Amino acid sequence: MKLHEYQSKLIFSKYGIPIPKGRVAATAEAARQIAQELGGRAVIKAQVLVGGRGKAGGIKVAKDPNEAEQLATQILSMEIKGLPVRKVLVDEAAAIETEIYLGITNDRAARKPVMMASAAGGVDIEEVARETPEKIIKVQIDPLLGLRDYQARDIAAGIDLPRELWRAFNAIALGLWRAYSENDATLAEINPLIINKDKKLVALDGKMLIDDNALFRHADLAELRDIDEEAPAETEARKYGLSYIKLDGNIGCMVNGAGLAMTSMDVIKLFGGEPANFLDIGGGAGSDKVAAAMKIILTDPNVKAVLFNIFGGITRCDEVAKGILVAMDEVKPKVPMVVRLVGTNAEEGRRLLENAKMITAETLADAAQKAVKAAKK
């Protein structure tokens, strides 16, 4: 689950990380009032769950409350990468001397969290990693021990931070680690962490991603989810316990098991197709869940064909077939469908689908090729 900048920074502040004064506003009038409270000069920042806000014109500096109202009016009428701006963060303007990047994410290869820092802050860290990887300092964190003081000092030294700021940086790094670990985050990022004209460190921007699978432990965080910023299909999928992510292709996919789903998508791409989604119905899915999944796939107007790849174990192929038939009866799909059923009750499942005018396949490669061909018609 993605958090907005203002939500992330409020969490950071709970762990002792200094952030600018400011509040979120849903109207231009409210933005004007906040700017006035901050002394006039303020930064107006669009709150949308995508990157590139600055390049899209979603971050502006206002010299006084009147200009803050004008800029907020402009930004609140924008769409950034297809997402409407419904809120703006009004922060006090900062006098920036130096910009630093500081973040923590999961290192899958090492199976440990990794803290990364760079003196080249304020830009996409991916760009820095691609063009000047030597500018990024990385420290792996033992999840049982947590971030140690000496590791924070090593990072401070590695980015040539002035020694008089090491103590403050150490506190921020440890606070970021606690924010990351205690909230089951998969990413906690400050970009930029600035040194201002008063020689103080301040987290000017923040970003957090929370592990959806851990939200049952964090009711307070679950309430922060902004469903207005999600694809409606993803919100609907969550109601049924489905793992669904919308993609940009035209071949809808329904698969049981995340690994098999990823493999199915890879094979589709191998034969020249593009998946329209990731959808894992999970183990033991009944016909009602399958029907819901199929309806969600077919709400995407880009879908030109659907591939069902079911390996029956706990999930019974006949239950999947029943769900497909229920959904077909309700939705009346107009796109070709390719189905591969293997495993528990596969013969019964295929028998149920005999009269459904579906394209059948024996292997995944065969199914993917037929789906790619059908999507091009």
Query: Cβ atoms within 10 A of the Cβ of 304, count?
Result: 20
Collapsing DSSP to helix, strand or coil, 194 comes out as strand
Find the catalytic residue in 5, 189, 230, 319.
189
Q: Which two tokens stand for residue 11?
A: 């969490």
For residue 232, give every residue at least 6 positions away whose Cβ sits within 8 Å of its Cβ, in sequence order, or none: 299
Helix locations, 38-99, DSSP H = 65-76
15 catalytic residue (yes or no): no
**Helices 28-37, 65-76: crossing angle, 10 deg rounding:** 150
| Burial environment of residue 87 by CB neighbours within 10 A (0 to 12, 13 to 18, 19 or more) | buried
Contact predicate 295/313, CB 8 Å: no
Q: Which two tokens stand for residue 306?
A: 């659907």
Tell me how far apart the alpha carbons of residues 21 and 64 are, in angstroms, rounded to a whole number: 16
Beta pairing, strands 59-62 & 42-46:
antiparallel
Q: Which two tokens stand for residue 313?
A: 């174990």
Sign of torsion, CA 145 149 150 154?
positive
Find the catalytic residue in 15, 101, 180, 244.
101
Tell me how far apart the alpha carbons of residues 323 and 345 are, in angstroms, rounded to a whole number: 14
H/E run at residue 186: strand 185-196
Query: Cβ atoms within 10 A of the Cβ of 56, count?
Result: 17
240 catalytic residue (yes or no): no
As annotated, the active-site residues are 101, 189
